[in-house]
Amino acid sequence: AQKVTQAQTEISVVEKEDVTLDCVYETRDTTYYLFWYKQPPSGELVFLIRRNSFDEQNEISGRYSWNFQKSTSSFNFTITASQVVDSAVYFCALSAGGFKTIFGAGTRLFVKA
Amino acid sequence: EAQVTQNPRYLITVTGKKLTVTCSQNMNHEYMSWYRQDPGLGLRQIYYSMNVEVTDKGDVPEGYKVSRKEKRNFPLILESPSPNQTSLYFCASSGRAGRREQFFGPGTRLTVL
Contact A101 B107 (CB under 8 A): no
Task: List A34's β-bridge partners, or say none.
Answer: A51, A94
For A36, which residue in chain B has the nearest alpha carbon? B101
Q: What is the mean pLDDT of residues A87-109?
A: 92
Interface test with A, best of B101, B108, B109 (most A CBs within 10 A): B101
Task: List A37's β-bridge partners, or say none.
Answer: A47, A91
Task: List B55's β-bridge partners, or say none.
Answer: B49
pLDDT in tens, A22-70: 999 999 999 899 999 999 999 999 999 999 898 888 888 899 999 999 9
Element (H, E) at B28: none
The band of B97, judged by pLDDT with boundaries at 50, 70 and 90, is low
The number of beta carbons lying within 10 Å of the beta carbon of residue A7 is 11
pLDDT in tens, A64-86: 999 999 999 999 999 999 999 99
Rounded to 5 degrees, φ, ψ at A86 are -80, -10
Q: Give the closest of A9, A47, A106 to B102, CB-based.
A: A47
Instruction: Assess contact for A37 and A44: CB atoms under 8 A.
Output: no
pLDDT score at A55 = 84
Rg of the Cα atoms in chain B: 13
Three-state SS string over chain B comes to CCCEEEECCEEEECCCCCEEEEEEECCCCCEEEEEEEECCCEEEEEEEEEECCEEEECCCCCCCEECCCCCCECCEEECCCCHHHCEEEEEEEECCCCCCCCEECCCEEEEEC
pLDDT in tens, B49-79: 988 999 999 999 999 999 999 999 999 999 9
The CA distance from B42 to the nearest CA of chain A, in Å, is: 4
A interface with B, Cβ–Cβ < 8 A, is 4, 6, 9, 33, 35, 37, 43-45, 47, 50, 91, 93, 95, 98-106
CA B9 to CA A15: how far, in whole Å? 33
Contact B101 A47 (CB under 8 A): yes
* pLDDT of B28 strictly over 80: yes
* pLDDT of B92 strictly over 90: yes
Distance of CA B106 to the CA centre of its chain: 11
Contact B45 A100 (CB under 8 A): yes
Rounded to 5 degrees, φ, ψ at B61 are -85, -10
Set of chain A residues whose Cβ sits within 8 Å of the Cβ of B107: 43-44
